[in-house]
């Protein structure tokens, strides 16, 4: 269903068994993949593309987010561009949203533009806004916030930063 460049295929071969794979896209933007069969609980923050084939419980923030068919996300999503083919439960904030025919979304969507294919399921409200999110600023702000938090929060944040 999803095409891969030769570079992505080579990177995926090296990352077999890790669950989270990272490579460099041709435009110089980082790409991370959460494999099917992998469950992650926590906040995911990426500056490039995050593709989810598995299950995520928590927030997802990235420039581009792809929720593949069969994947599940329970939590809020913030992205410049979001494509959903799987199941999402939570609030979505993205400038461009596409719900493919296999998408199941339960939650509110704040968007600049949205496309919904026939047979997609969407339960919630949608609201068009001119500039929903500036992903690069949001990612940067979230990444540096824990430095001014309490020591308990720092320990939690340090654990979550190691997943980058």
Tens digit of pLDDT for each residue in 107-129? 999 999 999 999 999 999 999 99
3-state SS of the chain: helix, strand, coil percent to 5? 20, 40, 35
Two tokens, residue 158: 């340090």
CB 111 within 8 A of CB 96: yes
The alpha carbon of 91 is separated from its chain's Cα centroid by a whole number of angstroms, namely 12
pLDDT for residue 47: 86
Residues 6 or more apart in contact with residue 64 via CB below 8 angstroms: 48, 49, 50, 79, 80, 81, 82
CA pair distance 20, 43, nearest whole angstrom = 14
The alpha carbon of 75 is separated from its chain's Cα centroid by a whole number of angstroms, namely 10
Can you list the residues of the chain whose pLDDT is less than 50?
Answer: 1-18, 21-26, 135, 137-164
Domain limits, the chain: 18-161
pTM above 0.75, yes or no: no
């Amino acid at each position: 269903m999803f095409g891969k460049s030769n570079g992505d295929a080579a990177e995926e071969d090296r990352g077999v068994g890790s669950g989270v794979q990272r490579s460099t896209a041709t435009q110089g933007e980082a790409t991370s993949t959460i494999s099917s069969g992998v469950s992650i609980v926590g906040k995911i923050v990426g500056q490039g593309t995050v593709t989810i084939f598995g299950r995520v419980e928590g927030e997802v923030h990235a420039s581009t987010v792809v929720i593949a068919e069969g994947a599940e996300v329970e939590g809020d999503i913030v992205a410049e561009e979001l494509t959903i083919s799987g199941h999402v439960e939570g609030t979505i904030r993205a400038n461009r949203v596409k719900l493919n025919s296999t998408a199941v979304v339960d939650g509110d969507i704040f968007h600049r533009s949205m496309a919904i294919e026939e047979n997609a399921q969407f339960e919630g409200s949608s609201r068009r806004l001119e500039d929903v999110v500036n992903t690069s600023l949001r990612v940067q702000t979230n990444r540096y916030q824990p430095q001014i938090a309490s020591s308990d929060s720092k320990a939690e944040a340090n654990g979550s930063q190691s997943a980058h």
